[in-house]
Structure 1
Amino acid sequence: MRTIFDRSIRKSSPHRSLLRLSAVAGASVLLAACHNPFHSASVSGAGTPATTTTTTPTPSYTVSTLGVHAGLSALSPSTVAAAASPIGVAVDPTSKYVYVANSSSKTVSQYTVGTDGSLSAMSTPTVTTSASPQYLAVDPSGKYVYVSDHAHADNTIAQYTIGSGGALSPMSTATVATGRSPTYIAVDPSGKYVYVVNSSDNTVSQYTIGPGGALTPMSTATVATDTLPFGLAVDPSGKYVYVTNLTSKTVSQYTIGSGGALTPMSPATIATGTGPRGLAIDPGSKYLYVANSSSATISQYTIGSGGALTPMSTATVAAGNFPIQIAADPGGRYVFVTNYNDNTVGQYAIGSSGSLTALTPATFTVGTHPRGIATTKKYTYVINNGTNDVSQFAFDTIGGGNISPTSATVVSGNTTTFTLTPNTGYTVDHVTGCGGALSTNTYTTNTITTACTVTAYFTTSVP
């Protein structure tokens, strides 16, 4: 995650200018120019014509303070190419590698993550998979990747090992059978079990993970869901599994037994909005959120001590047009949802009681028909199904550090410096604007001759 401070400067006169910068911890500043022109006249001796002299006006700058807004900011470049019809995305536990399932091209794209969060295709940019790959899951050890194949002719999970540089290699047993039309897939936090939704069977298949990563169906190979299951999530405590059911407008809820097998809770389901698809759980296992595609809302629940869901007092919050997938950031402060029909990502803050509040701005434009989304503590990746690419963002948050001095006055043609002080758990990521340069935690602008903005980015010290 990163936090930002903006120092915006607007110049209004081509004449000699005075630049006033103001930096307030936790705030961005907008500097708007105003003039203070004046006119003076001098009169010569008797019989000599009077002469009038006009003094060139010197602009001054008025500072207005604006609040910093958390949310997404596009990396450069803002997108990277995927293959045809990408759907799902997964990030490995070290946040070094990203994998994307490309449904029409029957491949998985594989990327390395740069120091600035941007993706680069590996030397082997894709690996072949089955007929219609949909969603992916990486095990907590970062050794294995599992991909669901939605095609009726296959109905499998492709299984891969992750090499030292992140590249995927098919296991000796390349696939394992599922039910019909598998979609969402997840690995439990212990790295022992895998679960996949079978949308045409109304079941969840359940597997154990062997020593080399290969999957073996449990003795009870499937458990029943409600009608037309779609999304699946395992809570971070490793105790519960939740499944959205499109037709039934419900979430099925299960406990995970000692051997990994699922047992329905009582009640077995709880109501959602219309068209529930993706779901996400905060890292503290306190709250669960469901994207309701047809009702354009997000249902929000608290998770009880036994795992059962209870709708919050505000049961839903508004989303965009056809919200489809949703992710909670690993820091437990924000939630993001892909809005398929209006080509945006909605962004929300998680309140003290778990209820969501839209950030400002409430949405961020991405490519056409966004679907999958994955987030780390620093970066967020969105799969654009219609434009066959991945939007990539830094994540900015409030509270990462301060910038000083709180004010500075600079004559045009001179430079000024800012000192960046990160809070505990943060470092200075980078600083941009005014043609300046960063040395350790000091940023020095170039000579000021035109309007410019200085932006300081603080990032968490962990991935």
Structure 2
Amino acid sequence: MKTSRTILRVVALCMACVSVTALTGCDGFFFKETSTSTGTSSGNYVYVANQGSTTLAGFQISTAGALTAITGSPFSLPAAPITVTVSRANTYVFVGTALGIYGYAIGTGGVLTALNSGSALVSTLSGVQWLETSPDGQWLLSLNQDGVTISEYSIAASTGLLALAQTYTYTGLSGIALPKMLRIAPNGASAFATLGTGGEVAFTFNTSNGLLTQTGVLNPPNQSSDAAIAIDSNSAFLYLVRTGTSQGLSVYTMGANASLTSVGATYTTGSVPASVAIDPTNAYVYVANSGDGTISGYGSATPSQLSTLSGSPYSSGGGVSAMGVDSTGKWLLASAQSGSPDLTLYGFDATNLGRIFSVSSTATGTTAIALALTH
């Protein structure tokens, strides 16, 4: 069993290297004022949004796991960042703030060129909590801070400019909506938003026309709050972490019309879980625990029967709250709001499968609130 899983993992990682796919992304750093430049980046980069210093710090990830600062990093932003994402073709970066959405074209070596002459692509009074691009690259969804709406924008492929397609108002919550995160399933058929004590809202999604339709609400247990989610690459399982009285990791199967069905027990995490990541083989799940600065690891051939990985929990920075897997599928990266360190890069152990170990780390800035990677 151990040998076969090792072989499967090697095959999956090799496929990831060829296809160069990933989770999320962010930005480059040398700034030019223009509104028409098209991005041309093809590197493997990680970007950290520093809310306290109003900057984005960027690093190139080497094949050996070294983190090298991108020329011009950290890059100053017009407003404190809250969330960041990159277009699926690695051409544009979108930064969400309390004032709106800013856009940048990614050039060679991670060089940034501001869109719209550096002004916001979208100005809003509701504030942006989370940005997510659709798998086909056509749409940008903004989970807004107002606790009521999700705004959808079409992305102009040649310019990166945004056009409002529709604003959706979600309903039927049993608690107060505290927007946290929004994820679109890899197959593009569904989307889910975590809303704190308001639970989780499920939508079907049509990538051809951008239609987002609410199909249900998953209410959290009493005195609990839905924090973060991750969806496996097969769009078969959704992993949800909650804080409060029902703190922990829960697993759901994904069915027709964005339905969710619990597969069993809630698994123990560290204090205040804030982020979830899945390895490229879908065999291992990691939870960032912001309350105690650790990462919990779980693994199983069957998602309904998770077990704690060897050495878990793993040490990370203080207030660790964002994670992602790089474009090669070889590294897991985590950023921490309280630093020490701000950013840590972990490798996957080939002997004790699923175990992660620190390879490199670096400072990024003040209050590293979000992390994103190129695809």
Deviations 1:233-285 (A, max 9, x none): 11111101111112233012111013321111112x21100010011111221
Query: Could you tell me how far 1:130 is from its partner in structure 2?
Result: 4.8
Q: Could you tell me which residue of structure 2 aligns to residue 81 of structure 1? A: 76
- TM-score, with normalisation over the residues of structure 1? 0.62
Query: Could you tell me how far 1:82 is from its partner in structure 2?
Result: 2.5
Q: Cα RMSD over matched residues?
A: 1.9
Q: Secondary structure at the match of 1:266?
A: coil
Tell me, in whole angstroms, the C-alpha distance in 2 between the residues paired with 1:128 and 1:304. 46
The answer to whether residue 107 in structure 2 is matched with residue 111 in structure 1 is no
Q: Could you tell me which residue of structure 1 aligns to residue 203 of structure 2? A: 207
Deviations 1:328-379 (A, max 9, x none): 11322111111111261011111121111101x4x211011011111125xx
Tell me, in whole angstroms, the C-alpha distance in 1 between the residues paired with 2:276 and 2:192. 15
Are the aligned partners of 1:97 and 1:110 in contact in 2 as well (CA < 8 Å)? yes
1:337 to 334, 339, 352: 334
Q: Secondary structure at the match of 1:228?
A: strand
Tell me, in whole angstroms, the C-alpha distance in 2 between the residues paired with 1:120 and 1:291. 32
Tell me, in whole angstroms, the C-alpha distance in 1 between the residues paired with 2:156 and 2:211. 15
% same residue = 25
Tell me, in whole angstroms, the C-alpha distance in 2 between the residues paired with 1:79 and 1:307. 42
- 1:38-437 aligned at under 5 Å gives the runs 69-103=64-98, 105=99, 107-123=100-116, 125=118, 126=120, 127-152=122-147, 155-164=148-157, 165-171=159-165, 173-177=166-170, 179=173, 180-201=177-198, 203-210=199-206, 211-218=208-215, 221-226=216-221, 227-247=224-244, 248-267=246-265, 269-306=266-303, 308-342=305-339, 344-352=342-350, 353-359=353-359, 361=360, 363-376=361-374
Query: Could you tell me how far 1:307 is from its partner in structure 2?
Result: 5.2
Number of positions where the alignment pairs a residue of Structure 1 with one of Structure 2 = 300
Q: Secondary structure at the match of 1:259?
A: helix
Query: Could you tell me how far 1:303 is from its partner in structure 2?
Result: 4.3
Tell me, in whole angstroms, the C-alpha distance in 1 between the residues paired with 2:318 and 2:268. 21
Q: Secondary structure at the match of 2:298?
A: strand
Are the aligned partners of 2:85 and 2:133 in contact in 1 as well (CA < 8 Å)? yes
Tell me, in whole angstroms, the C-alpha distance in 2 between the residues paired with 1:183 and 1:334. 25
Query: Could you tell me how far 1:216 is from its partner in structure 2?
Result: 0.9
Deviations 1:80-114 (A, max 9, x none): 233323111111211111111112x2x01111110
Structure 1 gaps of 5+ residues are 2-67, 378-463
Are the aligned partners of 1:207 and 1:216 in contact in 2 as well (CA < 8 Å)? yes
Q: Structure 1: which amino acid aligns with 2:324?
A: A
Are the aligned partners of 2:251 and 2:303 in contact in 1 as well (CA < 8 Å)? no
* Structure with higher strand content: 1
- TM-score, with normalisation over the residues of structure 2? 0.75
Tell me, in whole angstroms, the C-alpha distance in 2 between the residues paired with 1:355 and 1:97. 33
Are the aligned partners of 2:170 and 2:201 in contact in 1 as well (CA < 8 Å)? no
Tell me, in whole angstroms, the C-alpha distance in 2 between the residues paired with 1:157 and 1:304. 35
Are the aligned partners of 2:187 and 2:234 in contact in 1 as well (CA < 8 Å)? no
Query: Could you tell me how far 1:306 is from its partner in structure 2?
Result: 4.3
Does the C-alpha gap of structure 1 residues 192 and 129 become closer, same or farther in structure 2, counting only changes over 3 Å?
farther
Are the aligned partners of 2:197 and 2:220 in contact in 1 as well (CA < 8 Å)? no
Tell me, in whole angstroms, the C-alpha distance in 2 between the residues paired with 1:114 and 1:324. 28
Tell me, in whole angstroms, the C-alpha distance in 2 between the residues paired with 1:237 and 1:275. 28
